[in-house]
Structure 1
């Protein structure tokens, strides 16, 4: 990544960066782009929101912001490093602080699914007065070092991207060991998702229904499809191993995953099929992890639901920005829970990415709410809860007055009848 390329639209967007109220002020953020062996393409810089508390550490705050940003990226796009918006004098004085933030960002993102391990990270400085860009590549093994200069320059047509789209259906039954079942919901899901991630990573990918060699470029496809390609996943079935090949563990729980989700990636128009496949696989794994992570974070305040073994979990759905309204035509995304208004994401796009988004900019129907078996499970759970309430109320009445045994019998009869009616309705449905 000796060159950090950007287009005319990005250069114009620099004039929309916030004006610093104090000449000594320093604003940090993250650099978003598409990596390459010789040239990385800079698509957007997202400034980190102000600290919530004066006691918060700036480097950790920027790292958490980078993690949130990574959830909103399509495949093929990563957080490349850290940007500092300040005068040259302030940058020289605060360079150690900026490098500390860069180190924290690297450590945090190492736990996510990136395109590569990033032996070097981008340290970008933007002068708010001249809008001049200067960049250096800092060695990830020595963030205190000076690194190497990186040529940040405007390159014509560097953002002529090809969009890869796919829909990945899931129908998976996993087993959770006794050792894991007592841990948090997120760790339980992680143990299950590993099988899916391994299957996706090792599976084949067809581009427009064709299997092509890793060295082949996408030029022949994209010229016919106006920069958009359909991708199909061919996931191999996991073969059972011999009984003596793997250790046997007791099963503490099972988890059934059903549904499907949208997968999208961005690659340069001259990318090879290998680069395209890596990008689309990255998005499949990363956005599935993001959904599970957000769902578990949402349940932190509802401890009972985390421990309920029979609960049906609905992961959030994904919405995309229309490419015509995105920086460098990169379809940034967000996740919303079923039943929530997609317009709620407008604030997230503004706070996390610094994008002012209007409701009409959002693709609302990329994914649909769950139906079928999930809806049936929800209805059955409601009936079960109603039956338990009836029986509990009858037991309370019997405890108060033993002569209420007849009332309890009637309550049980009503409960059985309710279960029968509900079963018939579910079958008809």
Structure 2
């Protein structure tokens, strides 16, 4: 059976505008794979390469160079860097599924060009697979799409190729690409996941950086979120049930008329089982400080209505972790000092907050640092997604300013003004680092020491009653 891809009609118009002008273009295919259907949501042109010496997080702000005129001149690292930046903007359940090309060469028949395409895809796969929390890859498949439109014949061809494996003689499979004249319906799932956790900081002889500590926190957060149970609109659903079926049952229960419109959003709640919230083992360690995370991470995921509850669960959990990883990376890149703990100080820090940007009939996201205006999001959207939107299109209120009264009280009680660093404009998600030598160890010790006694005491009371 031939693999089928469904895409909005404007993607065809997007390709035709380059082909009609006989312009060589490469770009990314963004989409979602579910058991019921595979949808492409957007095609994003890769910006012209601006730096060949050092491709980094700041590459897309470097000085421009001469445009690449054919596929052989494309830098694999540049396309992979574009994929990294774009994946950060994708909600859970949406991935970079491959690349598209408009050119006058037949990339599937000429060995040098096809070898170059595989090289680009394999490089992109390795880069995205290096950070499973922020980037990740398409689930359960190593096949990637190659979409080509000839600037000579205007013929559109799509095929898939397996990447990431040792087999050099990779088979090419045909793919049927179907353009939809009507906008694709999406089911939106909104979740607000609250963080209020304290993590110890233990500085070893070799030291520890902010990035290293954040990686450990991501590991812990991923374990917690992955073990959580998801409720949709306050109810626990069967994992094999389709989102569309849930809506139909609700309409039938409420005796509503036969409207085909899906509700704008489903509310998702994540609950962590108590036994999974406890550490497996407790070590008595003297920590050098602590990081206190406080705030709410906003998650908005868009799923094909025939997707199952299990697929929606995976997408929501992935979205929260991807958002955390993206913020941590951006925050670390903005730091001047990579030292985790300042001496004798408590520091208030604010990772960037999330905003939504429209792409067709759904939303992708971007991140703004404190003090940045929606205009800042327009720059990355235009550069990375090749979209022309206005400031009014950017939804900035999904994460509101946080309540900092607790930390203001700490500031008032401090004997020295230097004890608390001056906070910037508050955002919904923040963390605080500080010195906490004995307190954290004391609390853990008390809990571990008395936990078994408390359980036995409660058991005896229940037995007598």
TM-score by length of 1: 0.79
Partner residue of 2:326 out of 290, 307, 310: 290
1:116 corresponds in structure 2 to: 139
Q: Within 5 A, what are the aligned runs for 1:299-318?
A: 299=335, 302-303=336-337, 306-308=340-342, 310-318=346-354
Deviation at 1:286, TM superposition (A): 0.6
**Is the contact made by 1:176 and 1:191 (CA closer than 8 Å) also made in structure 2?**
no
**Maintained 8 Å contact 2:19/2:103:** no
Structure 1 residues 276, 239: CA separation in 2 closer, same or farther (over 3 Å shift)? Answer: closer
* Equivalences for residues 10-409 of structure 1 within 5 A: 10-17=11-18, 26-37=24-35, 39-55=37-53, 58-89=75-106, 92=110, 93-110=112-129, 111-113=131-133, 114=136, 116-128=139-151, 131-140=154-163, 141-142=165-166, 144=168, 145-155=170-180, 159-179=184-204, 182-222=207-247, 225-237=262-274, 238-240=276-278, 245=281, 249-299=285-335, 302-303=336-337, 306-308=340-342, 310-322=346-358, 326-327=359-360, 329-372=361-404, 376=408, 379=411, 384-385=416-417
Counterparts in 2 of 1:342 and 1:382: CA distance versus 1, 3 Å: farther
Question: In structure 2, how many angstroms separate the alpha carbons of the residues matched to 1:261 and 1:219?
Answer: 26
Is the 8 Å Cα contact of residues 295 and 315 (structure 1) preserved in structure 2?
yes
Q: How far does residue 370 in structure 1 lie from its aligned partner after superposition?
A: 2.9
User: Matches of 1:220 and 1:37 in 2, distance apart?
Assistant: 15
2:218, 2:354 → 1: CA distance? 18
- Which string of whole-angstrom CA distances, capped at 9 and with x for unpartnered residues, describes residues 357-400 of structure 1? 10111112111233325752895699845589xxxxxxxxxxxx
Tell me how far 1:249 sits from its aligned partner.
5.0
Cα offset, 1:26, TM superposition: 3.9
Change in 2 beyond 3 A, CA 1:137/1:257? same
After superposition, the C-alpha distances for 1:170-191 in whole angstroms (9 at most, x for unaligned) are 1011123334982221110110
* TM-align CA RMSD: 3.0
- Name 1:427's counterpart in structure 2: none
CA contact (8 A) 2:210 2:339 kept: no
Relative distance call for 1:29 and 1:248 in structure 2 (3 A) is farther
CA distance in 1, matches of 2:406, 2:167: 48
User: Contact (CA 8 Å) 2:35, 2:307: kept in 1 or not?
Assistant: no
The alignment of Structure 1 onto Structure 2 pairs a total of residues equal to 377
After the TM superposition, which parts of structure 1 deviate over 6 Å for at least 4 consecutive aligned residues? 380-383
1:44: Cα distance to partner?
Answer: 0.8
Give the deviation of 1:233 after TM superposition: 1.2
Which whole-Å CA distance do the structure 2 matches of 1:382 and 1:84 have between them?
60
Q: CA 1:231/1:239 → structure 2, altered by over 3 Å: closer, same or farther? A: closer
Distance in 2, matches of 1:340 and 1:381, equals 31
SS at match of 2:321: helix
Task: Tell me how far 1:353 sits from its aligned partner.
Answer: 0.6
Unaligned runs of 5+ in 2: 55-73, 252-261, 421-465
Q: Give 1:87 deviation, angstroms.
A: 2.1
Distance 1:53 1:307 in 2: 35
Q: What TM-score results when the alignment is normalised by the length of structure 2?
A: 0.73
Quote how far apart the aligned CAs of 1:221 are.
3.8
Higher helix share: 1
The answer to whether the 8 Å contact 1:103/1:143 transfers is no
User: Conserved in 1, the CA contact under 8 Å of 2:354 and 2:367?
Assistant: yes
Q: Does the 8 Å contact 2:92/2:318 carry over to 1?
A: yes
Helix, strand or coil for the counterpart of 1:340?
A: coil
**1 CA distance for matches of 2:172 and 2:143?**
9
